[in-house]
Amino acid sequence: MQAQKVVGSSKTVKVGPWGGHGGIEWDDGIHTGIRGITLIHDRCIDSIQVEYDHNGKPFLGEKHGGLGGSVTTKIKLLYPDEYLTAVSGHSCPVVYGGSPVIRSLTFKSNLRTLGPFGVEDGTPFSLPTVGGMIVGFNGKGGWYLDSIGCRISATRSVKMYETLQKKLVKFGTMATKPFATAKS
Ligand code: MAN
């Protein structure tokens, strides 16, 4: 079956966050898709950095979490044919007396399952299957990734999106015509 090309719509639903309450809050905002994810992990998920798509251009989010971890996993999605549909994982403390942190993460795309990464220990969490695609992550981080949540958007076919873009371009050309004429 051929993968359907889709982009996210601007209406999103926030789900989560899952994990602990430690660390400081981070929010990557809302984008049009995800091109890749870099996870650094060991006994837990030390950090996450997401490369989004923003209206057809790559947008690199900040790295969230700490500087430790021994394994670097670079997930490259086959954008725009592939998009993330779900995230799941486990959380519990890794240090004595500490609050729960994200121990493992597993991502699901329309084409495959990526992971698990980290250690599947502690309380499991999973995103209820609501359809749509992930267009932004948020959560908390300190030495480690304390929690993670995401924003889900309904999917739209690229064809519809391109038609809309063409219309906007046409409208833009018309609007600037008097200036263009004056210049020539
Ligand atoms: C640091 C602090 C905590 C946080 C842990 C794990 O100790 O930022 O608030 O829970 O790291 O990330």
Q: Which residues line ligand 1 (CB under 6 A)?
A: 22-23, 99, 101, 141-144, 146
For residue 149, the tally of other CB atoms under 10 A from its CB is 19
- For residue 144, the CA-to-ligand 1 centroid distance in Å is 6
Distance in Å, CA 92 to ligand 1 centroid: 13
Residue 148 CA: distances (Å) to CA of 111, 156, 157:
22, 25, 28
Cα(98) to centroid(ligand 1), Å:
8
Q: What is the pLDDT of residues 17-42, one digit of tens each?
A: 999 999 999 999 999 999 999 999 99
User: For residue 182, is pLDDT > 50?
Assistant: no
141 CA: nearest ligand 1 atom: 12
pLDDT score of 123 = 98
pLDDT at 104 over 60: yes
DSSP sequence for 126-177:
E-----SEEEEEEEEESSSEEEEEEEEEEEEEHHHHHHHHHHHHHHHHHHHH
- Other CB atoms within 10 A of residue 115 CB: 19
Q: Is the pLDDT confidence value at 89 over 50?
A: yes
Confidence band for 175, pLDDT divided at 50, 70 and 90: very low
Question: Can you tell me the mean pLDDT for 176-182?
Answer: 39
Weakest mean pLDDT among 13-22, 34-43, 54-63, 149-158 = 149-158
Entry pTM: 0.82
